[in-house]
Amino acid sequence: MDDTNALPDLSMRGKNCLITGATSGIGKVTAMELAARGANIIIVGRSVEKCESTLAEIEAKTSNANLDYLVADLSDFNSVKNLAKNFTNKYSKLSVLINNAGGIFMRRADTADGIEMTWALNHFGYFWLTGYLIDVLKSTTPSRVINVSSDAHKRATLSGPPNMHDKMPIGYLTYANTKLANLLFSYHLAYNIKSTGVTVNAMHPGIVATDFGSSNGIIGKAIQMNAKVFGVKPEVGARTIIQLASAPELYQVTGKYFVNGRELLSSKTSYDTKLGTKLWQWSVDVSRRHGMDTKRIEFLR
């Protein structure tokens, strides 16, 4: 029988899903739900204890024992590089990569790589991990990359690559700029790998009552209080990620922005291909300076 038009296997059973920021909030719910659908779950977290207790909870609730964790600080270049190496040493396939770990920082802090913390975690965490895993994603098609952004991107003022030496406005504005960067990154990558069978989509989870922002002292408490009063539960916030990761009908949809389970337009600036290319080029340059072999991701559009 000629099966050239047959659909690929689109079930989640036995599929490797790598999820960052899965020790808490919407990432944890996503890991739980994908485990319940039979996927092999590999979570990324900074603490062994938190990773182990998260996996114990997932196994107890789903009876899925195909669970693993890798420890990494996603704001640190060498840590992400080692994470990708540890992943590819252990696994030859990756069906779903969920870039979710992110944060907001009210005080300026720079990483050991000399990158402002919000940019390091929210942008470079996604850029480096996806860049290092692009080959394994391409060899596991159909495969999906899901980038957790935020509606906060609409408040962004980014008009070019940020200058790390500038006195950067930290807090909400830098957060908004990095969430716009998530969209520029997603659309640029989706465009450049569109014929490979790897899809790239971005989403906004809504205002969600999680630990988000909690490391910012009194302001952090206010952020959390706001989310508790006005936000939805993590189970609701995670729904669109789970849909993007697993819905069979979305397996060829790429370069889109989803909110509440629906494809929506993001801000006008997020579709600025000149800005997207500049941000990409800057990200490649910064990454190369840290020793990344960037040949596979030098897309100039």
Ligand X SMILES: NC(=O)c1ccc[n+]([C@@H]2O[C@H](COP(=O)([O-])OP(=O)(O)OC[C@H]3O[C@@H](n4cnc5c(N)ncnc54)[C@H](OP(=O)(O)O)[C@@H]3O)[C@@H](O)[C@H]2O)c1
Binding residues (CB under 6 A) for ligand X: these are 21, 23-27, 45-47, 50, 73-75, 100-103, 121, 148, 150, 204-205, 207-208, 210-212, 227, 231
Nearer to ligand X, 117 or 136 (CB): 117
How far is it, in rounded angstroms, from Cα 139 to Cα 263? 27
Closer residue to ligand X in complex, CB, 55/101:
101
Residue nearest to ligand X (CB): 25
Minimum Å gap between C-beta 225 and ligand X is: 12
- Strand 143-148 to 40-45 pairing: unpaired
Minimum distance of ligand X from residue 192's CB (angstroms): 23
Residue with smaller CB distance to ligand X, 131 or 205? 205
- Measured from the CB atom, the residue of 119 and 140 that comes closer to ligand X is 119
- Angle of helix 125-138 relative to helix 172-192, nearest 10 degrees, comes to 20
On the question of a cis peptide bond just before residue 234, with omega within 30 degrees of 0, the verdict is no
d(CA 242, CA 19) in angstroms, rounded, equals 11
Q: How far is the CB of 5 from ligand X (least distance, A)?
A: 38
Q: How far is the CB of 103 from ligand X (least distance, A)?
A: 5
Distance CA 216, CA 264 (A): 31
Catalytic status, residue 91:
no
Could you tell me which residues are beta bridge partners of residue 45?
A: 71
Q: Which is nearer to ligand X, 183 or 197 (CB)?
A: 183
- The Cα 189–Cα 99 span in angstroms is 14
Q: To the nearest whole angstrom, how small is the minimum distance from the Cβ of residue 155 to ligand X?
A: 12
Residue type, 88: T
Residue 3's contacts (CB-CB under 8 Å, 6 or more residues apart) are none
Q: Which of these is catalytic: 69, 132, 175, 257? A: 175
Toward ligand X, which CB reaches closer, 122 or 283?
Answer: 122
Q: Give me the amino acid identity at 158.
A: L
Omega prior to 205 cis, within 30 of 0: no
Q: Contact 48/260 with Cβ under 8 angstroms?
A: no
| Structure-block tokens of residue 101 | 């770990």
3-class secondary-structure state, position 110: strand
Residue 118 C-beta: closest distance to ligand X, Å: 10
The structure tokens listed for 169 are 């406005």
Residues 6+ apart with CB under 8 A from 197: 138, 141, 142, 143
- Catalytic residue IDs: 175
